[in-house]
Amino acid sequence: MKDDLNISGIGIDLVKVDRIKKLINKYPKFLNKFFTKNEIEYCNGKKNRAIHFAGKFAAKEAIIKSIGFGNNAIKLKEIEINNMSNTNNNSIPKVILHGSAISLANKRDIEEILISITHTKEYAIAIAYTRGKA
């Protein structure tokens, strides 16, 4: 974490896991519209994939809120939630921006986006905060 950066935005989102599960089952193109190939591979490798898709969906929405742009300014697929393992074998979510999300974040002088995701059988929640020199 860079110590010379200030918090420039905070976002939070709550998603019902069952809602995501229904969207996956009802609309075959849902996953490819909102998730990257890496995210789909990661979630499909999990026992209850809907929980993990819901967590990533909540994180993407929280990130959009923390950046401060409307829902239509950034496509959810342009925000990738990548899971990296730390030394304790815990999964740490890392944000990777693509396409217009990069330029919009640059316009806001955002240099870092930090997120936390948690879930139960019913809900997934994510919080994101952006840091920049502004």
Residue pair 13/115 in contact by the 8 Å Cβ criterion? no
- Give a yes or no: residue 97 inside a domain: yes
Residue 99 lies in a domain: yes
For residue 14, is it within any domain? yes
**55 lies in which domain range?**
6-132
Structural domain tally of the chain? 1
> What are the backbone dihedrals phi and psi of residue 77, each rounded to the nearest 5 degrees, phi first?
-70, -20
43: left (phi over 0), alpha (psi -120 to 50) or beta: alpha
User: Positive or negative CA dihedral for 15, 127, 118, 82?
Assistant: positive
Residue 1 is assigned to a structural domain of this protein: no
Q: What does the pLDDT profile of the chain (134 residues) look like in tens digits?
A: 556 678 889 999 999 999 999 999 999 899 999 999 999 999 999 999 999 999 999 999 999 999 886 667 789 999 999 987 666 667 789 999 999 999 988 988 999 999 999 999 999 999 999 998 75
Q: Which CATH number goes with the domain that contains 94?
A: 3.90.470.20
Number of helices (H), then strands (E), belonging to the chain: the values are: 5, 5
pTM (predicted TM-score) = 0.90
